[in-house]
Amino acid sequence: MTSLKLTGIEKSYGGTVQILNDINLEIEQGELIVFVGPSGCGKSTLLRMIAGLEKITGGTLEIDGQCVNDVPPAQRGIAMVFQSYALYPHMTVRENMSFALKIARRSKAEIARAVEHAARILQLEPYLDRLPKALSGGQRQRVAIGRAIVRDPKVYLFDEPLSNLDAALRVATRIEIAQLKESMPKSTMIYVTHDQVEAMTLASRIVVLADKGIAQVGTPLELYETPNSEFVAQFIGSPSMNLLSGEITGTGSMTTVRLDAGGAIQSAVATREGDLGRRVNVGIRPEDCRVTDGEAAFRGKVKITEALGEVTLLYFEARDGEAPVIAKLGGSHKELRGALVGLSADPSKVHLFADGRSLLYRPADLAA
């Protein structure tokens, strides 16, 4: 059983530049964990620390219960797939995939079996005798993945492996990685990406990194439906969640908020009498907005419409210092450009945030 445990992991340079602080995470066998976060949050650095390519400044990293802080990369049982493929240009696909096994002095028969097995999984058999320059970007990335598979590692690490591919190839290769994971259900994988679609479709759990630490860990659906902070709420989902400022005017199992922009909205988030008058931000995802001719939570002028075929994005004129409200509607709605439009939302889809944190109480909190 291959599991990883990160306890109090820290990374700094020169003792002054802190990159990561107090990272605590347990990864079970068979999980595909995805690290996401804004540029510079340390997700690739954390991956390289797990691989042994970056020194751990503080804390402990355990693989199968063994501390590996000072274990060389080659002895950790880890294989890494890089963004740049890192293939030897003068070697064929077969030679690239077998190189690490040759260095490890495996027998020719064992090497041949491993390469043929990986090539079959990744549909690379017709290309085994080609040089990398004769392959497409997607094929090169499959060779890089195959090079990892032949080593039969304890853990696979992927560092933004699809970022160099065009949109069509990214979709095709993402599907191949998902199929690869299904074919190896006991393999543990850690995947770094800035692409939300990759994270939401591939991950068993997503780790959102921000402010040198972990903002939230959960399944893709948990992060989408119950973000614990404004940061996570706006980071997960595209377009980002709308945040409208307001004040709680009614509490209980159906909370009423009077919005600063005018109008009121109800949320199924339970609140207490002590929350009356509390300043909050109301979170509504663009896809949960509905156009209404009746009482509206928000009313504004549509400045821009973006027709994407199956959906249309409406961008409303922004108030001073605020981001524009965005609504995502099914079908074509070009006629709404320049119109004064009212929006409503299902109370069960409305989020409330106070001081940047989600107002989601446990039953014990509500009884207190």
Supply φ then ψ for residue 97, to 5 degrees.
-70, -25
pLDDT tens sequence across 235-282? 999 899 999 999 999 998 899 999 998 889 999 998 888 899 999 999
Whether the upstream peptide bond of residue 38 has omega within 30° of 0, thus cis, is no
For the ranges 54-58, 161-165, 218-222, 266-270, which has the lowest average pLDDT? 161-165
CATH number of the structural domain 4-233? 3.40.50.300
Tell me the residue type at 215.
A
Tokens, residue 49: 């620390």
Global pTM reads: 0.90
Domain boundaries, given as residue ranges, for the chain: 4-233, 240-367
Cα–Cα distance for residue pair 175/196, rounded to 1 Å: 15
* Closest to 348 in 3D by CA, of 275, 283, 278: 283
Question: Where are the alpha helices (H) located in the chain, listed in sequence order?
Answer: 43-51, 93-103, 108-121, 137-149, 167-183, 196-202, 220-225, 230-235, 363-367
**Concatenated DSSP letters for 224-274?**
HHS-SBHHHHHHSSSSPPEEEEEEEEE-BSSEEEEETTSSEEEE-S-B-GG
Question: Residue 276, CB half-sphere, CA atoms under 13 Å: how many?
Answer: 6
Cα–Cα distance for residue pair 215/23, rounded to 1 Å: 10
pLDDT tens sequence across 184-209? 888 999 999 988 889 999 999 999 99
**pLDDT at residue 1 in the model:** 55
With bands split at pLDDT 50, 70 and 90, how would you rate the model's confidence at 348?
Answer: very high
Cα–Cα distance for residue pair 331/75, rounded to 1 Å: 54
